């Protein structure tokens, strides 16, 4: 399989970086300010993956849905002020990115995180040095987000790749849907983020394979040492 793959798309949160504690802290502070019940880390882990407005729509009770935009603005403000607090790479993140580049693969980070935040996180952890492209959501992308096939088509075009020789690596059902909707060669999951192995196995578009971490994936799929 590794000979057929020339391009690898990586999700960011839960796949290459662990930003969960900072995200939970800011969501819960915002929930308190809006008079809503706080959520546990386990609950928040399940929500991460979609865009911010989609997550907030799930967090807010029906009677507060009209405050969704204000909630998003407050959350973004809190995250901007403490963005790098607690941010850390997933085990094996730099190793697999550097290894794939050493094999001559095209590598992109493909995320529903805002572009500015994705850039900031990757620069802080040095992941930007090992990839050809970081593509997140913002107004320039016309509100596109994963798993919209138009967004997948855009990232492939920007990196000069074909779907039939590209794979997606992620931690959630959304990442698995990218492969199915975008016509990719394969999707690979790591059970390090949003969805458990059991949940990934029964999601609408199950991955080609599931791995416990990036080291296991890199060795098994790409033969990295």
Answer yes or no: are the C-beta atoms of 169 and 175 closer than 8 Å. yes
Whether residue 96 is found in the same domain as residue 145: yes
Q: Are residues 41 and 100 in the same domain?
A: no
The CATH number linked to 148 is: 3.40.50.1000
Choosing from 32, 53, 81, the residue where a domain stops is: 81
Look at residue 1 and tell me if it is in a domain: no
Asked if residue 32 is part of any domain, the answer here is yes
Clarify whether residues 14 and 68 are in a common domain: no
Residue 134 structural domain: 7-18+88-222
* 109 and 174 belong to one structural domain: yes
Kindly provide the residue ranges of all beta strands, DSSP E only, lying in the chain, ordered along the sequence: 7-10, 17-18, 88-89, 106-114, 133-137, 166-170, 186-190, 209-211
Q: Per the domain annotation, does 2 fall within a domain?
A: no
**Quick one: 94 and 188 in the same domain?**
yes
Number of structural domains found in the chain: 2
pLDDT tens sequence across 165-215 = 999 999 999 999 999 999 999 999 999 998 999 999 999 999 999 999 999
pLDDT at 221: 97
Q: Which token pair is 26? A: 């800011």
Q: Are 178 and 170 within 8 A, CB to CB?
A: yes
Q: DSSP characters for 6-28? A: -EEEE--BTTTEE-HHHHHHHHH
**Structure confidence by residue, pLDDT tens digits, 112-167:** 998 998 999 999 999 999 999 999 998 676 779 999 999 999 999 999 999 999 99
213 assigned to some structural domain: yes
Same domain, 211 and 136: yes
Residue 16's φ and ψ, nearest 5 degrees, are: -105, -25
pLDDT digits (tens, 9 = 90+) for 41-86: 889 888 887 888 999 999 999 999 999 999 999 999 998 888 888 8
């Amino acid at each position: 399989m590794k000979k057929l793959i020339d391009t690898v798309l990586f999700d960011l949160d839960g796949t290459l970086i662990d930003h969960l504690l900072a995200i939970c802290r800011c969501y819960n502070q915002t929930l308190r300010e809006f008079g809503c019940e706080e959520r546990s880390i386990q609950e928040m882990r399940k929500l991460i993956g979609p865009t911010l407005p989609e997550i907030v729509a799930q967090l807010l009770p029906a009677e507060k849905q009209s405050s969704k935009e204000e909630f998003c603005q407050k959350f973004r403000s809190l995250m901007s002020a403490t963005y790098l607090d607690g941010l850390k790479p997933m085990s094996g993140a730099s190793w697999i990115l550097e290894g794939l580049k050493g094999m001559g693969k095209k590598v992109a980070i493909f995320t529903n995180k805002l572009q500015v935040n994705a850039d900031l996180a990757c620069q802080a952890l040095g992941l930007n040095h090992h990839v050809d492209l970081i593509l997140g959501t913002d107004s320039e992308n016309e509100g596109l987000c994963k798993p919209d096939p138009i967004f997948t088509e855009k990232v492939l075009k920007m990196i000069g790749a074909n779907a039939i020789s590209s794979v997606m690596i992620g931690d959630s059902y959304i990442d698995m849907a990218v492969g199915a909707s975008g016509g990719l060669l394969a999707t690979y999951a790591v059970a390090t983020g949003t969805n458990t192995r059991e949940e990934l196995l029964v999601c609408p578009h199950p991955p080609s394979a599931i791995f416990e971490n990036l080291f296991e994936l890199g060795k098994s799929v790409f033969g990295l040492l």
